[in-house]
Structure formats: structure tokens, C-alpha cells
């Protein structure tokens, strides 16, 4: 015989209607009481028998098709106009997805270009011979690139500013040679990269404080400039303006 | 937040109501015990639901709402009225003690047809509460919404309905030809 105090809860227990602390209490009791376990099992079996036996009647095919037609014909006009917002929504979603993919792609390209050039900057500074031409004189550095690059560029006069030209070397970015110039500002090194602009490259600009580097990029006379360093964005901008005003 | 249906896309009624078609028909057939009456009842239910859909509050239980319409339509039908007359006696019927005993193992052996037979013999209130709970797998809350009775009544009616069914099954298995 099942325990009277528990058997009143067994229906709700097998129906999954007991709150969790109560259900746990019943489960705990069932582990210890064979009579109640048999009772709960009987109730579960009865539930299952009714669930199986209760699925007894299916509508005839004729009745089903008649009802489907009847329900569908009740609102044919509404169904048509429903397609329009649906199509519009789908179109909008596709456009948004395309835009997102495009921006994502652009963003990835930018991040990649940024990372590559920043890596180049860091690797060069870590090298024992960071520059191939050592000179603070732009009239020495610029001619050094002649014959090494398929383009020429102008460098600003930095005398009288806080910046000092350290030197330069040939760098490669996306299989193309370019100029890598290093400037110094209060013992901080700043890299200036100059490449032919292909229009396909996209660069970020502005400070990237999360990486402790600031950068600036622009295109002038078909050349892409990229300035990067661990100085403040303000200093990067100052050097950028000098370079932009050169020539 | 509840939003009146007429502010929602219009196809929602079909989307919500069509998947319930088979379940509603099964329930209607159990109530009416007749195929043709069940068809009429389902048809009436859909017609009423479509008309009343603007009053349906999104966020409330649509399935319970549809079953409630079907059941109310049944109760006002000729067969339904007859069954409610008998219901007064049935609902108060004294159920012989049917505490689960080892005999319950017999229920496990009861075949589908004998369970159906016992279900058909139950009064409508007992039959419908069992069907909603076991076949439709409705929660007590949903059953309470469908039958418009308090949850406490759902629980006590379910318990009595199960006892009544168990008693009938035991009687059949012990003596009737419907047994195993």
C-alpha cells in the first residue's frame, strides 16, 4: 500500500506539475519506498496507455482537403498582400547581409593591412640593422631609393621640428616594393611606409589605443602613405601633416 | 505585451490554426463519438475561431482557445446537451476504491482497444480532462483555460477520472472479453 501522504502528490509528480523542491522530495521518497514506486509506475503506465489509445481518430482525406480549401479561401487577398512585406523584408535582409559581408571583408582587409605594416614596423625596430641608409638628411635618403623603387616621392624638411629622420630601407607589402622611413620623436620610432596605391588596399586611420599604436593613412599622387608608431595620435598627425605638405 | 490580432500579419490564423486540425478532429470525435458530427464540430470551430480571431489576444494560449471553442460548441450541440444531462450524475458518481494495487500490472497489459472502450464509457468531463492531459499533453494551466475551471478542480477531476478509468479497466480485464 502506498503512503497516504505521498500518494496525493503522485499524480502531479507523474504529470510533471510539481515545483522542483517538491518534485525532488517525491523522487527522494520514491527511492526509499517500494510501494509508492509501484504506485507511480502504475500511474505512468496508465498515462501512457491513455496517450496511445486516445489517438484514435483521424479526419478523412475528403474532409481534410475541404477544410484546407475553406480556410485558405477565407483570406486569399490578405495572403497576397502578405507576400509583399515578406518579399520586402527578405530583400532588405539580403541587402543587409551583403552590406555586412562587404564591411566585414573591408574590415578584415583593413585589419590585415594594419597588422602587416605594424608587424613590419615592430620587426624593423627589433632588427640589428633597422635601416639600410642611415642619414638625417632627406637629400641623402631620398636619392638612395632611386633605382630601388618604381616611383619617387618627396620628403619634408624636419629640421626645426621635433621629428628627426633616422634613415630608410626598402620594404615589401603585398609583393610590391616600397619605402620604409623611420623618424624619431623623443626616442620613439615612427615608421612611414610609402607604396604605390592600387586602389584595392584599404587602410585604417586614427588611433588604435587597444594595440598601443597610432596610425594614419592617406593617398597622395598615386602613393599610399601609412604612418605608424607608439606615440600619441596627435604626434602621428603632426608628422602626417609634414609629409602631406612635402614637395 | 498583448497585441490585438488585427495588427498582426493576416496569415497568422492559418499558421496557428491549421496545425491543430488533426488534434481538434480527434478530440471532437471523442466528444461526439461520431465521425460526421465530429466533422461538423470541427468546421463550426474553425468558422467561429476565424470570426472571433480579432478578439483573440496574442500572448494567451491559442491551442487552449481553439479547444475551448470546440468544447463550448459541443456542449451547446444536441449531442453535447444530452451528455451534460447525464453529466450531473456522472460527475458525482461514486467511484469504488481503486487504490493502486498489484492488480495495476493488469493495466499495463491492457490493450489499446480495451483502454478506448473504457474511455468511451467515461462521462464527458472525465473523458475530456484525460484526453487533454494525456493525448494533448496540456499543462494543468492549459486545461484550466480550456475547460474554464480552476486548477484545483483540474487536479481533482483528473484524479477522479483516472480512478474511474482504472476501475473500468480492472473490471474488464478481470472478467470481460475486452481483456488482454
pLDDT, tens digit, 9 for 90 and up, residues A131-155: 777 777 878 888 888 888 888 888 8
Residue contact A53–B30, C-beta within 8 A: no
Q: Is the pLDDT of residue A182 over 80?
A: yes
Categorise residue A222: left if φ over 0, alpha if ψ from -120 to 50, beta otherwise. Answer: left
List the Cα angle A136/A141/A142 in 5-degree steps: 135
**What's the pLDDT score for residue A65?**
92
pLDDT of residue A208: 54
Say if residue A76's pLDDT is above 50.
Answer: no
pLDDT above 60 (res A78): no
A246 vs A53, which has greater pLDDT? Answer: A53
Can you say whether the dihedral through the CA atoms of A52, A54, A58, A64 is positive or negative?
Answer: negative
- Which cell numbers in the block locate residue A177? 616594393
For A10-69, write each residue's pLDDT tens digit: 999 999 999 999 999 999 999 999 999 999 988 998 999 999 999 999 999 999 999 988
Query: pLDDT-based confidence at B44, cuts 50/70/90?
Result: very high
| DSSP secondary structure letter of residue B53 | G
Mutate to test the interface with A, among B5, B8, B11 (most CBs of A within 10 A): B11
B162:A56 CB<8 A: no
Across A216-225, average pLDDT: 84
Q: What cell numbers appear for A233 in the block? A: 595620435
Largest CA distance in chain B: 60
Determine the average pLDDT of the residues in A168-172. 85
**A80 pLDDT exceeds 70?**
no
Provide the Cα torsion A147, A153, A154, A155; round to 10°. -80
Q: Which residue of B has its CA nearest to A16?
A: B139
| pLDDT value for B92 | 47
Residue range A204-221: mean pLDDT, rounded: 68
Which of A150-154, A208-212, B51-55, B134-138 is predicted with the least confidence, judged by mean pLDDT? A208-212
Chain B contact for A67, CB < 8 A?
yes
**pTM (global) more than 0.95:** no
CB contact under 8 A, A12 and B155: yes
- The C-alpha atoms of residue B113 and residue B28 are separated, in whole angstroms, by 19
Q: What is the pLDDT of residue A201?
A: 59
In chain A, which residue's Cα lies nearest the Cα of B152? A12
What average pLDDT does the structure give for chain A? Answer: 81
For range B150-155, the mean pLDDT: 95
Contacts of A52 in chain B (CB under 8 A): 112, 115
> How much is the pLDDT for B104?
54
pLDDT at B78: 78
The region of weakest confidence among A81-90, A167-176, A182-191, B57-66 is A81-90
Taking contacts as CB-CB distances below 8 angstroms, the residues of chain B near A67 are: 21, 42-43, 46
How far does A69 lie from chain B, in Å, by closest CA? 11
pLDDT value at A202 more than 70: no
- Burial pattern A120-130, b for ≥16 Cβ within 10 A else e, equals bbeebeeeeeb
- The residue with cell 484514435 is A56
Interface check A96 vs B, CB under 8 A: no
Percent of chain A at pLDDT above 90? 20
Pick from B39, B102, B110: CB nearest A63: B39
Distance from CA of B36 to the nearest CA of A (A): 10
Of the candidates A191, A194, A176, the residue with the CA atom closest to the CA atom of residue A125: A191
* Segment B105-139, tens digit of pLDDT: 556 567 888 999 999 999 999 999 999 999 999 99
- B18-35 mean pLDDT: 95
State percent of chain B over pLDDT 70: 73
What backbone torsions phi and psi does residue B103 show, to the nearest 5 degrees?
-60, -20
Q: Supply the mean pLDDT for chain B.
A: 81
Say whether pLDDT at A170 is over 80: yes
Amino acid at each position: 500500500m502506498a503512503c497516504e501522504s505521498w500518494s496525493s502528490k503522485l499524480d502531479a509528480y507523474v504529470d510533471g506539475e510539481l515545483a522542483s523542491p517538491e518534485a525532488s522530495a517525491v523522487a527522494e521518497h520514491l527511492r526509499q519506498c517500494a510501494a509508492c514506486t509501484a504506485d507511480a509506475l502504475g500511474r505512468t503506465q496508465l498515462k501512457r496507455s491513455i496517450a496511445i489509445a486516445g489517438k484514435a481518430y483521424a479526419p478523412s482525406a475528403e474532409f481534410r482537403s475541404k477544410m484546407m480549401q475553406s480556410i485558405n479561401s477565407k483570406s486569399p487577398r490578405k495572403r497576397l498582400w502578405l507576400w509583399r512585406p515578406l518579399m520586402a523584408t527578405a530583400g532588405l535582409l539580403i541587402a543587409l547581409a551583403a552590406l555586412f559581408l562587404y564591411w566585414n571583408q573591408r574590415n578584415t582587409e583593413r585589419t590585415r593591412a594594419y597588422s602587416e605594416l605594424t608587424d613590419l614596423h615592430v620587426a624593423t625596430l627589433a632588427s640589428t640593422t633597422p635601416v639600410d641608409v642611415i642619414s638625417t638628411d632627406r637629400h641623402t635618403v631620398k636619392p638612395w631609393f632611386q633605382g630601388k623603387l618604381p616611383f619617387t616621392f618627396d620628403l619634408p624638411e624636419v629640421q626645426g621640428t621635433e621629428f628627426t629622420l633616422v634613415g630608410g630601407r626598402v620594404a615589401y607589402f603585398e609583393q610590391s616594393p616600397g619605402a620604409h622611413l623611420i623618424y624619431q620623436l623623443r626616442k620613439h620610432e615612427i615608421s612611414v611606409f610609402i607604396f604605390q596605391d592600387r586602389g584595392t588596399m584599404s587602410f585604417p586611420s586614427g588611433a588604435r589605443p587597444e594595440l598601443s599604436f597610432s596610425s594614419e593613412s592617406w593617398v597622395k599622387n598615386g602613393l599610399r602613405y601609412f604612418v605608424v608608431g607608439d606615440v600619441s595620435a596627435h604626434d602621428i598627425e603632426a608628422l602626417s601633416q609634414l609629409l602631406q605638405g612635402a614637395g | 505585451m498583448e497585441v490585438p490580432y488585427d495588427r498582426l500579419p493576416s496569415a497568422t490564423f492559418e499558421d496557428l490554426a491549421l496545425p491543430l486540425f488533426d488534434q481538434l478532429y480527434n478530440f471532437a470525435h471523442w466528444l461526439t463519438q461520431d465521425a460526421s458530427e465530429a466533422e461538423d464540430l470541427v468546421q463550426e470551430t474553425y468558422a467561429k475561431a476565424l470570426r472571433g480571431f480579432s478578439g483573440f489576444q496574442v500572448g494567451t494560449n491559442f491551442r487552449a482557445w481553439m479547444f475551448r471553442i470546440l468544447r463550448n460548441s459541443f456542449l451547446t450541440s444536441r449531442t453535447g446537451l444530452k451528455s451534460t444531462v447525464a453529466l450531473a450524475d456522472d460527475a458525482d458518481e461514486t467511484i469504488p476504491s481503486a487504490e493502486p494495487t498489484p492488480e495495476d500490472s493488469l493495466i499495463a497489459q491492457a490493450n489499446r482497444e480495451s483502454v478506448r472502450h473504457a474511455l468511451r464509457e467515461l462521462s464527458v468531463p472525465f473523458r475530456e480532462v484525460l484526453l487533454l492531459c494525456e493525448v494533448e499533453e496540456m499543462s494543468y494551466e492549459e486545461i484550466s483555460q480550456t475547460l474554464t475551471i480552476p486548477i484545483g478542480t483540474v487536479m481533482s477531476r483528473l484524479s477522479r477520472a483516472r480512478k474511474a478509468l482504472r476501475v473500468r479497466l480492472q473490471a474488464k480485464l478481470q472478467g470481460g472479453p475486452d481483456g488482454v
